[in-house]
Amino acid sequence: MNIRLAEAKDIDQLIKMRWDMTVEYDPSKNEAFYEAFKKEFHTFLAHALTSNQWFIWVAEDEERIASHIFIELIHKVPRPGRVTYPFAYMTNVYTIPEYRNEGVGSKVIQTINNWIKANNYEFVIVWPSDQAINYYKKNGYIPSTEPMEFTY
């Protein structure tokens, strides 16, 4: 299993995985939505892969992506008297079904945790589904009640 940052050659697989993940949790999404989604997500990925804002980590097994985690860096406003580092927003965490419960996702998140530490990013924030809470806990994440949100 090779864990690395995604490249342009991975776009088609990442699009399919995002679609599969969505359909897995919301079967009402049918093929009628696919082409519009594919076009939008391709544009997003093409930009993300060349930016210094998004980092898409993949676990690859013989050129097949088995798992991925998307990280967006959020830059903070500098503060006098200290160096300001960005924090990371983790999203779109997915492992294809045949690779689940084999430690693949944990290897990806552990690689990211080491990358976070090596780059002095301040913290990582993630909004897990109820089913994923134990996955994050076993990989060093703790619940937080600090964020607030405005919705309309």
The pLDDT tens digits of the residues spanning 105-124 come to 999 999 999 999 999 999 99
Rounded to 10 deg, the angle between the 34-48 and 11-25 helix axes is 130
Q: How far apart are CA 4 and CA 60, in angstroms?
A: 8
pLDDT at 64: 97
Per cent of the chain over pLDDT 70 is: 100
Q: How far apart are CA 5 and CA 15, in angstroms?
A: 16
Q: Is the pLDDT of residue 18 over 90?
A: yes
**pLDDT tier at 94, thresholds 50, 70, 90:** very high
pLDDT at 30: 75
Q: Is the pLDDT of residue 151 over 80?
A: no
Q: How far apart are CA 141 and CA 135, in angstroms?
A: 9
Q: How far apart are CA 19 and CA 148, in angstroms?
A: 29
Q: Is the pLDDT of residue 136 over 90?
A: yes
- Domain 2-138, what fold? Aminopeptidase (3.40.630)
pLDDT at 29: 73
The pTM of this model reads: 0.92
Per residue in 43-73, is it b (16+ CB within 10 Å) or e — as a string?
eebeebbeeeebbbbbbbeeeebbbbbbbbb
Per cent of the chain over pLDDT 90 is: 82
- Are the CB atoms for 97 and 61 separated by under 8 Å? no
